Amino acid sequence: MATFAIKCLVLGGVANLVLSFGLGWVLSVYRAKGPMEPHRWLLVAHEVSLQEGVMLLGLAYAAGFVRLPVWLASGGALAVVIASFFQDASGFMNWLRRTNDQFAEKSLGWKLAGVNAVLNTAGLGILAIGVVRGLLA
């Protein structure tokens, strides 16, 4: 039976892949009508959600090796899943708001990516420690 952490990571991974697929459809509609440049951030959101989905599914496998208290492993998994959607929203918001340089503009997308960085650092740190503990046990 899969733990909450594994279920959370699988669900988050599949949700990211579905989001990527949907964003790909939206992107193709806009690309059929004009040049790529105005939709660069939409492409970023499409690619990032694909990458996040694959990462979360890989972490779901790795989570099977985690040796930590259930609440801690679950918290780490939940943190990386929530972080992934902040990262997805970052590119999408930059596209909606026609952001040029998110760092120079300190855009909403930049702020969302900052939340992603904090949550991902914490969640990946927890899961990595748990995997190392599990593999060395």
Q: What are the DSSP calls for 115-126, one per residue?
A: HHHHHHHHHHHH
Tell me the one-letter amino acid at 6: I
pTM: 0.94
pLDDT of residue 137: 86
For a pLDDT cut of 70, what percent of the chain falls above it?
A: 99
pLDDT of residue 86: 98
How far is 7 from 23, CA to CA, in rounded Å?
Answer: 24
pLDDT of residue 2: 65
Using one digit for the tens of pLDDT, what is the confidence trace for 73-123? 999 999 999 999 999 999 999 999 999 999 999 999 999 999 999 999 999
Kindly state the average pLDDT of the residues 23-45: 94
In the predicted model, is pLDDT for residue 65 greater than 80? yes
Rg (CA), the chain: 17
Tokens of 100: 């040029």
**91 touches 109 (CB < 8 A):** yes
